[in-house]
Chain A
Amino acid sequence: MSGAVPWNEARAQEIIDAHLGLEGPALPILHAIQEEFGYVPEAAVPQIAQSLNISRAEMHGVVSFYHDFRRAPAGRHVLKLCRAESCQSMGSEKIAREFLERLKLEWGGTTNDGSLTVEAVYCLGLCAHSPGALFDGEPIGRVDGDLLDELASEAQKA
């Protein structure tokens, strides 16, 4: 996403060190690394492991367990579409399938121009306005095909 900076080991160490006083600092560190660099680079894994005095394998296990930690940068914009039951009751599956077909994408994929990544999410707590979505972290209710197309072209522009 926009705002992310290129990988920098010294900067990563600063981020890690800033969290070492916490009880159970692994997730806060991973969130902060992803916030800074846009994803959790492979090089960060042994570095965090060493700082926390755990094995590289254990740290890899943590990073790979959680859906939210990216192993590679996302597109410039990220659209999370809810696939949970409430949204399904309002036709979200069809809306999402047709949208992904128009973009020639699979779930989790990024458009060829790198403008948009579309991910599945299971519940955003917007269930009284299903289907729900998050576009670059901003909530959207009553999603339909036209609205998704608008977001996709908005993503292309910036």
Chain B
Amino acid sequence: MTKVYVPRDMAALAVGAKRVLAAIEKEAAARGEQIEIIRNGSRGLLWLEPLVEVETPAGRVGYGNVKPSDVPSLFDAGFLKGGAHPLSIGKVEEHPYWAKQTRVTFERVGIIDPVNLDDYVAHGGGQGLAKAFEIGPAKVIEEVTKSGLRGRGGAGFPAGIKWKTVADAPADRRYVVTNADEGDSGTFADRMVMEGDPFVLIEGMTICGYAIGASKGFIYLRAEYPQCAEVLTEALTAARAAGWLGENVRGSGFYFDIELRIGAGAYVCGEETSLLESLEGHRGIVRAKPPLPAHVGFMGRPTVVNNVLTLATAPAILAKGGEYYASFGVGRSRGTMPLQIAGNVKFGGLYETPFGLTLGEIVNDIGGGTLSGRPARAVQCGGPLGAYVPPSLFDTPFDYEAFQKHDSLIGHGGLVVFDDTVDMAQMARFGMEFCAIESCGKCTPCRIGSTRGVETIDRIVEGVDVEANIELLSDLCHTMKFGSLCALGGFAPYPVESALRHYPEDFRKATLPAAAE
């Protein structure tokens, strides 16, 4: 029976994958064709979604941007045998966007049936956990440390050190918590890995639990991803049924289980201490650090809180060795980063590659420039708390340290492209407004500063005491950066300051002669 792949990834669904699936099933039935539908994740060539693939003896052939109305002509063209059609992109694995990637964390995403454990194992799944059981907890932490893997949520803290801290903390019980509260605009890598290869996260959490001596894990998933919750629920059920979770994981004698929890629309809960408060059933108010969650975390117990990508990378590190992973990347940014290319961009998608490409290569060569066809004017890197980077800095290599040098951050690897119609004063205002909406309210710089920031930018835009108010805004940013309790208030100034620095003219429109009008 011919295998036909129609993604169940949320982005594919958003552009009609479900209707395409119905059309394919209907057409196949009408023509008496025997097909087996597989609902895979997305390959990450998102601008081509819905990307329907057909398995042929020569490899998987893809058809991009399929609409329900295209389906009869696809059958006419013999697409079940990989036949030629205007929508054909040929063999997906030969497509340059795919072929040039280095897929480690995402090696199975888009390829396998995400909720079929046999498929997972057939594609190398489970080897990392088997290795972990073979070498024991201490060596697991050693491998993760050796790999140079840093927290992919944004802060970039070395994962191995965090795991060791928790393992060494005396306690009656410990926890593994996956931070799947991926709230940064322009990011969707967590969602894609959970929808496309949920077992890799389950395996990664199990490896972490084994290494640190935890028997319970939580996935704290944001409520904005309902389809992702469905996939995870199916995967957790399948994992339990097959003995990958619960008593005696895979015959090792190790007990571990995972509970899925859904957030409730608070961006600040992506901050680890706020997340823990929320998980415990409180308001998502940030805790002061220290104590670190590694010492006093969920229910007061030592807890590893790691981003989805961090934990989902652990199985590959164990299976292939820490040195293999560390062989990619530059400087202290080791391994690969799943870039998420988004916003006003032609070829938006997920592109996993070693650290070190320049921003210009990512935006122009891989992303193909803006979708509108107008010149790119700004790229926001690292979500709503990340800086706006102008084309004059497009030669900056994509790694933690190089970005820090320009007062920017790579965060969770999201890149949002804006064309030249963007008003950077308005984007700066939004940065402050968003911080005001999402502030947990615990510390004054964030709670009050963000609102004062909106008001000050409004006065600047209106042309009231422009230079004095810009100075006031800079001072306010400084206070928020150094006086806030967590990254929300502490990083909200980055987009504002970068807009002031690189696009000063946008803040002075009211005082400049209206020559451009």
Contact = CB atoms under 8 A, between A and B. Distances in A.
Contacts of A24: 279-281, 298-299
Interface stretch (B264-272, B329-337, B447-455, B481-489): B264-272
A28 B349 CA distance: 33
B371 interface: yes
A123 interface: yes
A67 B222 CA distance: 12
Nearest to A132: B14
B384 interface: yes
Interface in B357-392: 371, 380, 383-384
A124 to B, nearest CB: 5
B224 A125 contact: yes
Q: Secondary structure of the B side of the interface?
A: mixed
Interface size of A as a range: 35 or more
Contacts of A126: 10-11, 14, 188
A86 B417 CA distance: 8
Nearest to B184: A123
Interface stretch (B108-116, B246-254, B314-322, B339-347): B339-347
B15 interface: yes
Contact of B264 (A27, A86, A88): A27
Interface stretch (A7-15, A98-106, A136-144, A148-156): A136-144
A89 B227 CA distance: 25
B363 to A, nearest CB: 12
B265 A123 contact: no
A128 B266 contact: no
Interface in A16-33: 22-28, 30-31
Contact of B187 (A65, A89, A125, A132): A125
A130 interface: yes
Interface in B115-131: none
Nearest to B422: A89
A25 B218 CA distance: 13
Interface residues of B, number: 65
B62 interface: no
A127 B188 contact: yes
Contacts of B11: 125-126, 128-129, 139, 141
A43 interface: no
Nearest to B266: A66
Nearest to A58: B282
Contacts of B281: 24-27, 52, 62
A140 B19 CA distance: 12
Contact of B430 (A88, A127, A142): A88
A126 B195 CA distance: 13
Contacts of A86: 185-186, 342-343, 414, 416
B185 A27 contact: no
A127 B13 contact: no
Given A65-B284, A121-B224, A139-B227, A127 B187 contact: yes
Given A27-B261, A86-B416, A89-B418, A128 B438 contact: no
A132 to B, nearest CB: 6
Interface string A52-93: 100000000110011111000000000010001111111000
Given A62-B281, A69-B264, A122-B434, A88 B10 contact: no
Contact of B46 (A27, A128, A138): A128
Contacts of B267: 122
A127 B265 contact: no
B133 interface: no
Contacts of A30: 264
Given A22-B259, A26-B282, A122-B267, 16 more contacts: A24-B299, A27-B279, A30-B264, A65-B283, A66-B284, A84-B185, A85-B186, A90-B344, A122-B434, A122-B438, A125-B11, A125-B225, A127-B342, A127-B414, A127-B416, A128-B349
